[in-house]
Amino acid sequence: MATAANANVQDDPHNPLSPRPQWDAPAPRADEDRDLLIHAIDLHSYYGASHILKGVNFMVRRGETIGLMGRNGMGKSTLLKSIMGLVKPRAGGVLVMGKPMTGRAPYEIAQLGVAYVPEGRGIFGNLSVVENLKMAARPGTRGQKDWTYERVLETFPRLAERLHHGGQQLSGGEQQMLTIGRALMTNPDVLILDEATEGLAPLIAREIWRICDLIRASGISSVIVDKNWKHVTQVTDRNVILVKGQVVFEGTSEQLRAQPELLTQHLGV
């Protein structure tokens, strides 16, 4: 017979020793939620015994650009990886396009119209710019073909000048452009961009922000992680700040800029 201590381990879904519970997706809600593309609900995610996300709720609606902020180690990348199926939450769940997708394979989530630009870029260094782009080309989930090979090259003229260069021959900024361009070739409904301008020269960073603005204008929903909150809030509709795996602020860019004490406390500006 199980001891009381063992029973507690079995019954606590937030205990790292507990088995992962079955998550029951909520029933469909009212018509106003038809545009809810991603909905993370009460997420608890771990790395080993380290409890990283502690009950995070996060939403992305159609046509919305969201800034995800916080200092290093606060759970931003873990949240994105939990949404994309790269980290399996121990509790809570993720709905993508209204479908329960908690812990499903990343390719299944991508097939629903979510494109992910990881912090490490993830380009294929042994393939040319052309090959990196064309291998990703496909219509979107609604059959849309708004982002063609030609449109991507028009948007990223630096890539057009380096079509036959291998991925490993590109500068860091060019690799970032290639990764974003490759994601756009899938004609996504949602683009997730982790560390948009990390390590890039100011001139290249400005080009990336220009692209983020173009993507927003095109109607694609976006989630942007970057340390430069000033640039983030210029292209976002709503912003979320994470501190130690919990949401401490959620509001518009105007609301965030109006609270300098919040920026100082949580973003270190």
Residue pLDDT, tens place only, 120-179: 778 888 899 999 999 999 999 999 999 999 999 999 999 999 999 999 999 999 999 999
- In this model, does residue 16 exceed pLDDT 50? no
Q: Percent of the chain at pLDDT above 70?
A: 88
Close Cβ partners of 224 (under 8 Å, ≥ 6 residues apart) = 65, 66, 67, 68, 193, 196, 212, 232, 235, 236
pTM for this prediction = 0.86
pLDDT of residue 217: 94
Structure tokens given for 174 = 């060019």
pLDDT of residue 93: 95
Q: What is the pLDDT of residues 225-257, one digit of tens each?
A: 999 999 999 999 999 999 999 999 999 999 999
Taking alpha carbons only, the member of 69, 74, 68 closest to residue 267 is: 69
Q: Where are the beta strands (DSSP E) in the chain?
A: 36-47, 50-61, 65-69, 91-96, 99-100, 114-117, 190-193, 221-225, 238-243, 246-252
Taking alpha carbons only, the member of 179, 222, 221, 223 closest to residue 200 is: 179
pLDDT of residue 113: 97
First-to-last C-alpha distance (Å) of the chain: 55
Distance of CA 219 to the CA centre of its chain: 16
pLDDT of residue 13: 47
Instruction: Name the pLDDT band for 103 (thresholds 50, 70, 90).
Output: confident
Rounded distance between C-alpha atoms, residue 11 and residue 2, angstroms: 12
Number of alpha carbons in the 13 Å side-chain half-sphere of residue 21: 17
DSSP state of 32: G
Q: How many H helices and E strands in the chain?
A: 11, 10
Q: Can you list the domains of the chain with their CATH numbers?
A: 37-267 (3.40.50.300)
